Structure 1
């Protein structure tokens, strides 16, 4: 049976391992590094957290390990349960049983975690990004009233539109991001403003990258091979300026090669292009 691995924060119980009987000798930080080293051999990890036992219990620690894939979590449980791993005594490893209510909207991964997950499944050279537009929205347009202009001048705002491309799967996913940083020109010097400008640009790009990956899911097939599912986001863009900028981007008169049409109507399963 195929498994769908979205670019989202894993919250399901079948992706979570509870590790008991950890030694009280090493520090929590040392245990965290050792656990990460052992369990990451079974698949990419979202997090490893180590906690001390309650004061009324015996000394020692337990850990919560979260995988992106339920299949990886099951394999890790079978491989590590009642094994010594990195200590002299065996540990106990159980799949999590506490299931949270399904959230209305999955929590998106940040851009760095999206890149880590993409590198694992597609390889470092198996995907790429292309910035389509990076626009400064800080300056008010001509003709706007002075009150709105005064408000907008108090912050730096950048909009980014980009696409993530997976050549082997003939798949492209668009993403948009809007970032804003407060600004006080009277108190901040030119260098500080320049640094904030670069930071705001970077944040907009990171948000757009995360948004693009949200539309993708890795399909892990029974034979171990993978496919890609592309599902356009149904989320409504809250910021009017962001929506208007995206519309302007798609209708600003540029040719198809420079600004390709990125939307599709239905979810699509993309297999590697072997031709």
Structure 2
């Protein structure tokens, strides 16, 4: 049985990246991108699909870099697509990465964005497989800071800080974890209400990302298990 572990962080391992060569220029770059995404996303959710034109000294065509969240998905994709006719009966060369690239190294240990966390959670756990709740959302700007406005060329500027703690729950497993974040911004007093709303949304999203960063998904074949590094509970 295949076992794979997924974190809610930017994937950087070599075994999660595949390279695709010998893509003929029979379609536009947008059409090739759509077809590659259709083929490879069928093996599992993709973190990245980057399509590039061949260098001038090479024959016309394209190559692609595809990054999966799961090493098992990447291995299956490589095994089942290498040497197969996928685009207009053209045989493609598909290989797993054997070298770490600077692009992926720059994202090592970085948490996923809020949108990526939701995408990954919904894919493996379902829309009803998890919930999030606000434990506290509070403005941390004290009275002195609120009164201490900075003078700028555009007029008075105000600094506002919000803190938030979110609870992330997985009802099926009876497990919860938490995440907290603080955001701060200095802005002109005009449009203050709108900026406050955006800041509150930003701190909620950052707190939820922090909560997801303590979660591991353990994939057993087609089954998903859950592990929370915060509560140290494992469910199979």
Distance 1:113 1:95 in 2: 23
Cα distance in 2 for residues equivalent to 1:35 and 1:145: 53
What is the aligned residue count? 227
RCO (CA 8 Å, sep 6+): is it higher in 1 or 2?
2
Deviation at 1:269, TM superposition (A): 1.2
Look up the match of 1:62.
63
CA contact (8 A) 1:19 1:63 kept: yes
Aligned to 1:211: 210
Equivalent positions of 1:26-175 (< 5 A) are 26-99=27-100, 106-138=109-141, 140-141=142-143, 144=144, 149-150=148-149, 154-175=158-179
Evaluate the alpha carbon distance shift between residue 20 and residue 104 of structure 1 in structure 2; reply closer, same or farther with a 3 A threshold.
closer
Matched residue, 1:3: 4
- Determine the structure 2 residue equivalent to 1:253: none
What's the offset of the Cα at 1:105?
Answer: 6.2
| 8 Å contact kept, 2:12–2:108 | no
* Deviation, structure 1 residue 53: 1.0
**3-state SS of the aligned residue for 1:154?**
strand
Instruction: Note the alpha carbon deviations across 1:36-89, whole angstroms, 9 max, x for none.
Output: 111111011101000111111111110000000000001111111111223231
Mapping of 1:19-30 within 5 angstroms? 19-30=20-31
Structure 2 SS opposite 1:50: strand
User: How do 1:196-235 residues align onto structure 2 when only pairs under 5 Å count?
Assistant: 196-221=195-220, 223-232=221-230
The CA RMSD over aligned residues, in Å, is: 2.2
Contact 1:169 1:228 (C-alpha < 8 Å) held by counterparts: yes
Q: Detail structure 1 runs of 4+ shifted over 6 Å in the superposition.
A: 100-105
1:171–1:270 Cα contact (<8 Å) kept: no
So what's the TM-score if we normalise by structure 1?
0.76
List gaps (5 residues or longer) in structure 1.
Answer: 233-263
CA contact 1:81–1:93 (8 Å) conserved in 2: yes
Residue 154 of structure 1 and its aligned partner are, at CA, apart by: 2.1
Structure 1 stretch displaced more, 153-162 or 70-79: 153-162
2 CA distance for matches of 1:157 and 1:68?
Answer: 34
Provide structure 2 residue ranges, at least 5 long, that are not aligned to the other structure.
Answer: 151-156
